[in-house]
């Protein structure tokens, strides 16, 4: 992976440059899944007419580990994502209180 890749997630922008131990995950090569990732991580409107789903664009896009639930990883070290992993929706993440229906 190229150095200096920044997390595209809404309001994030973390990169290896600022956090060396950060794990960044490339967008899935499957267009359907890539679209899910995009929907959850960016406000599509802001990016205007850029063809986000074109292969070249997605190749250079990454999302950092912060936006995935623990259950999305194949192990505790959070190095590898499951094939089915999808980042949390940015609106969900930016809310102050986490809803925990199972807390009781
Ligand atoms: Zn991030």
pLDDT, tens only, 35-85:
899 889 987 655 555 566 666 677 788 999 999 999 999 998 889 999 999
Distance from the CA of 67 to the center of ligand 1, in angstroms?
6
Distance from the CA of 53 to the center of ligand 1, in angstroms?
19
- Enter the pTM of the model: 0.77
Nearest to 86 by CA among 49, 47, 32, 12: 32
> Tell me, what DSSP letter sits at residue 68?
S
Show me where the domains of the chain are located: 6-72
pLDDT at 23: 93
Distance from the CA of 7 to the center of ligand 1, in angstroms?
5
pLDDT, tens only, 9-33:
989 999 999 899 999 999 998 888 9
Q: Work out the pLDDT band at 3, boundaries 50, 70, 90.
A: low
């Amino acid at each position: 992976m190229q150095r200096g890749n920044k997390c595209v997630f809404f309001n994030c922008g973390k990169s290896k440059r600022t956090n060396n131990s950060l794990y960044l995950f490339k967008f899935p090569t499957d267009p359907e899944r890539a679209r899910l990732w995009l929907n959850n991580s960016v406000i599509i409107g802001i990016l205007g007419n850029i063809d986000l789903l074109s292969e070249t664009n997605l190749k250079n896009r990454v999302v950092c580990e912060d936006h995935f639930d623990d259950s999305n990883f194949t192990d505790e070290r959070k190095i590898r994502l499951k094939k089915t992993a999808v980042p949390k929706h940015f609106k969900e993440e930016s809310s102050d209180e986490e809803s925990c229906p199972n807390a009781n």
